[in-house]
Amino acid sequence: MKTFSSYDPEDFYDELIDAEGQPRPGARLLVDMIESLPEGDLALRQKAAEALLLKMGITFNVYGREEGTEKIWPFDIIPRIVSAEDWQQIESGLKQRIFALNEFIQDIYNAKKIIKDGIIPEDLIMTSRTYRKACEGFTPPRGIWCHVTGTDLVRDRDGRFYVLEDNLRCPSGVSYVLENRQVLKRTFPQVFEASQVRPVDAYPSKLLEMLEYLVPEHIPSPTIGVLTPGIYNSAYFEHSFLSQQMGVELVEGQDLVVHDGCVHMLTTKGLKRVDVLYRRIDDDFIDPEVFRPDSLLGVKGLIGAYQSGNLALANAPGTGIADDKVIYAYVPQIIKYYTGEDAILPNVPTYICRNDDDRAYVLDHLDQLVVKAANESGGYGMLVGPHATAEDRADFAEKIKAEPRNYMAQPTISLSRVPTIVGDRIEGRHVDLRPYVLFGKEIYVQPGGLTRVALPKGSLVVNSSQGGGSKDTWVL
């Protein structure tokens, strides 16, 4: 049986198959290989890949279930393929965007020129829940704020890429990119080789170089650590994986103390000074003296050490201001303001509920729009209008009226699809793409990124907490 003969891309942009049902140029080898497999073989390979992930312990805990229930994050072995030209545009677009956002954060906490020049209203910044007063007047080492970014891109029916969201705080998922690749190399070795896929494995060493770049030159062999909330965090696997790959310490808040203005680790031989932390704890929890006093995960005095220049942090506290989902709407103007260029990667058109005209439109068209709260992530605080009940929509309308500053809305994007294994057949499922960007001496975009796939039929929500899975991403 030909696996793809009954496959229907329907009225969506399909990443592997064109509207005539033919494989796209870069996907030809893969599709031919899948077609040539004996019946049932694809499902076997899928099972083998899942078994491998379980064995490697790449699992997350399912909260609220009986002890010992662990699941792998669903992984589909059919990769998503991105052509070299598409990638070229993504890469240059992300470099431009991240550069501009970094300039923006530096400006917002210091000179505030963009406010004075009337590009962004001051009250929008000041009312953002992710604005950190503690960062005012501060310039981090080398002037870099957003060292690690994971930008969510989507592709609409027309095949164009749009930026859906910027994640400049502690974006996670890059370890899945690396592990998915390991698994897929074992699953489709020949096709992988013949397709000349660009390698993703350089990421940990690029990350390490970036962290080292933050250390003043007079410290010859700096101590670098990854700061994790601990083994109960759902991204713990990633924290551990990255520190192992970089060969640096993995520390928890309980391992650190601030002494004489510097941060130290408690070691078997006494205190040892730490120079750089790649922190994977949110701003709110990182230092109970400065942010949330009830945090048990953080380290007292850490921000003090950071602000006196005795510690570098990646990402810098305060970067959340640039991924406020309302500020997002201004990013094309931000890019223009700081670089003089037009944005290479467009935003999804966005209605800002604090503007009266936009709000009126949003309230009238809730059944067609996706509404998002400014500071939620993981698919929470969000209304997918066309799929919501009338009751949900009425609820959301009240929320928007009560707190217009906190909401924005976008037309529902017909996310592109990728063939995905469903039982013993292949069906199209919607995907997005999160490439990872490092900002050190230069800006580096990992060739690939995390393709998240919404596994339930017709679903547009790709978040892992909402039934999403992942795929390997092949950049040719």
Partner 1 sequence: MLSRVANSIYWMCRYIERAENVARFISVNLNLLLDMPLEKGNHWEPLVMITGDQAIFEKHYPDYEKKQVMHFLTFDRKYPNAILTCVAAARENARSIREIISSDMWEHLNNFYLELADKCSPDMALADPQRFFKIIQMRSHLFTGLMDCSMSHGEAWNFARIGMMLERADKTSRILDVKYFMLLPRADLINTPFDNIQWSAVLKSASALEMFRKRYHHATPRNVADFLIFDDNFPRSIRHCVSKAKACLHRINGSMPGLPQNPAEKQLGRLEADLAYTDIDEVIGQGMHEYLDGLQTRLNQVDMVIGTTFFNIEPTTESCAQEQ
* Cα gap 174→186, rounded to integer Å: 19
Identify residue 117 by its one-letter amino acid code.
D
Is there binding between residue 277 and partner 1 (CB under 8 A)? no
CA distances from 451 to 169, 359, 431 (A): 20, 32, 6
423-445 as b/e, with b when 16 or more CB fall inside 10 Å? Answer: eeebebbbbbbbbbbbbbeebbb
Smallest gap from Cβ 352 to partner 1, in A, equals 43
Among 209, 249, 289, 392, the residue binding partner 1 under the rule CB under 8 A is: 249
Contact 131, 291 (CB under 8 A): no
Of 49-57, 190-198, 351-359, 435-443, which part binds partner 1 (CB under 8 A)? 49-57
Is there binding between residue 62 and partner 1 (CB under 8 A)? no
What does the per-residue mask of binding to partner 1 show for 1-40, with x meaning CB under 8 A? ----------------------------------------
Is there binding between residue 209 and partner 1 (CB under 8 A)? no
Is there binding between residue 241 and partner 1 (CB under 8 A)? yes
Among 57, 189, 216, 293, the residue binding partner 1 under the rule CB under 8 A is: 57
* Side-by-side strand order, sheet with 382-384: 351-352, 407-411, 369-373, 382-384
Contact 150, 436 (CB under 8 A): yes
Q: How many CA atoms lie within 13 A of 439 on its CB side?
A: 26
Of 52-60, 116-124, 307-315, 342-350, which part binds partner 1 (CB under 8 A)? 52-60
Beta carbon nearer to partner 1, 256 or 327: 256
Is there binding between residue 244 and partner 1 (CB under 8 A)? yes
Is there binding between residue 251 and partner 1 (CB under 8 A)? yes
Beta carbon nearer to partner 1, 225 or 404: 225
Smallest gap from Cβ 246 to partner 1, in A, equals 9
Beta carbon nearer to partner 1, 222 or 346: 222
CA 12 to chain centroid, in Å, comes to 24
Among 2, 5, 11, 55, the residue binding partner 1 under the rule CB under 8 A is: 55
Is there binding between residue 202 and partner 1 (CB under 8 A)? no
75-82 and 468-475 as β-strands: parallel, antiparallel, unpaired?
Answer: parallel
Q: Which residue in 392, 328, 348 sits closest to 366, CA to CA?
A: 392
Q: No. of H helices and E strands in the chain?
A: 14, 22
Contact 89, 160 (CB under 8 A): no
Is there binding between residue 240 and partner 1 (CB under 8 A)? yes
* Cα gap 331→375, rounded to integer Å: 16
Which residues between 254 and 273 bind partner 1 (CB under 8 A)? 254-255, 265-268
* Cα gap 365→202, rounded to integer Å: 45
Beta carbon nearer to partner 1, 54 or 360: 54
Report how many residues bind partner 1 under the rule CB under 8 A: 23
What are residue 3's phi and psi, to 5 degrees?
-60, -40
What does the per-residue mask of binding to partner 1 show for 218-237, with x meaning CB under 8 A? ------------xx----x-
* Cα gap 46→40, rounded to integer Å: 10
Among 156, 252, 392, 403, the residue binding partner 1 under the rule CB under 8 A is: 252
Smallest gap from Cβ 249 to partner 1, in A, equals 6
Smallest gap from Cβ 314 to partner 1, in A, equals 18
Identify residue 20 by its one-letter amino acid code.
E
* Residues at the site binding partner 1, with contacts judged by CB under 8 A: 54-57, 67-68, 230-231, 236, 240-241, 243-244, 249-252, 254-255, 265-268
